[in-house]
Amino acid sequence: MNMTIVYTIVSLSAIGTLSAVILYFVAQKFKVYEDPRIDDVEKALPGANCGGCGFAGCRAFAEACVNADELSGLFCPVGGNDTMTGVAEILGMEAVAQTPKVAVVRCGGSCDHRPKVNKFDGASSCAVTASLYSGETGCQFGCLSHGDCVAACDFDAIHMNPETGLPEVIDEKCVACGACVDACPKNLIELRKKAPKDRKVYVSCRNEDKGGVARKSCEVACIGCGKCAKVCPFDAITVANNLAYIDPDKCKLCRKCVVECPTNAIVEVNFPPRKPKTDLPPTPAAEKPAAPKAEKPAAEKKPAADEKNDNNETK
């Protein structure tokens, strides 16, 4: 009996030792040299493996950084400038600072503004819907409300608002990886430069139809009238294909265009309520007879939005 135990211990130890020796030599023989800095860089990265940098994952990005001659063109949108500075330190290179960006949904066609003209009943996916037809509303450019962007987000930074039927970005969580931009079949989402206090002014519309057609399907559609472009003191607004676009690099957030827009297609986010604001909404209403409808929900919504969270206001 005792001998059994002894045999067991001896034989197991012998096998163990033998395996260890074999493993040691095999490990020596097949050793692959890898730059230790890759591990260091990878540790400095957020480890989200989101692919926002354009590489397959954080390790692939780390390898690319180590092998690169300079860091321009390599940027981790999730970690931002801090992370890149860390990476640059490890590699002894210069970090190229980039302005932080944030995803912005450029459609304001909520259920109030953009009535449905049919009912979609199929796989709940924007991609499927878009491949089938123009969408549930009269606007063929607008949000399809199935939330492909929400599904694509790894950071829980974009959510559907069930009341408006539009996705909303949570600026603090958004890392500008661009997954939602790729997921949206209507190309509604844009990565725009982050401004102080998360302030934003942008055209919340992608409708390229002629003004009348656009307006018919959505009350807050850009009709391409060009008033905003005329009023902009910084030359930041261009109008093409019946659609205005505000260049985030040129825009100085003066908000003159917001006041000027007859359809409220240009929106401002996270600005303190301005004093003359209460007088403003009626001004375009007086100019355009068709506007009152549009003004009502907007006017109702604004105070409510101010109370809870300015983020929700317009997206």
Cα radius of gyration rounded to whole Å, the chain: 27
Q: Token digits for 296?
A: 């009502």
Q: Which is closer to another protein, CB of 120 or CB of 271?
A: 120
Q: How far is the CB of 63 from another protein (least distance, A)?
A: 23
* Residue nearer to another protein on the CB measure, 116 or 250: 116
CB nearer to another protein: pick between 46 and 185: 185
What is the closest distance, in whole angstroms, from the C-beta atom of residue 11 to another protein in the complex?
A: 28
Residue numbers at the binding site for another protein (CB under 8 A): 116-123, 125, 127-128, 131-134, 136, 140
- Compare residues 122 and 289 and give the one whose CB is closer to another protein: 122
| 103: Cα separation from own chain's centroid | 3
Give dist(CA 177, CA 174) in Å, integer: 8
Cα–Cα distance between 165 and 108 in angstroms, integer?
10
Q: Which residues fall within 8 angstroms of residue 306, CB to CB, at 6 or more apart?
A: 273, 313
Q: Which is nearer to another protein, 24 or 133 (CB)?
A: 133
Contact 114, 217 (CB under 8 A): yes
Instruction: Provide, rounded to whole angstroms, the least separation between the CB of residue 96 and another protein.
Output: 31
How many CB atoms are closer than 10 A to CB 263?
A: 23
In whole angstroms, the minimum distance from the beta carbon of 173 to another protein comes to 23
Cβ at position 188, least distance to another protein in Å: 17
Q: How far apart are CA 84 and CA 94, in angstroms?
A: 9
Q: Tell me the C-alpha distance between 91 and 62, whole Å.
A: 10
> Is residue 294 within a helix (H) or strand (E), and if so which, with residue range?
helix 292-308
Which CB, 46 or 54, lies closer to another protein? 54
- Least separation, in Å, of the C-beta of 209 and another protein? 8
Contact in structure between 260 and 227 (CB atoms under 8 Å)? yes
| Separation between Cα atoms, residue 20 and residue 7, nearest integer Å | 20
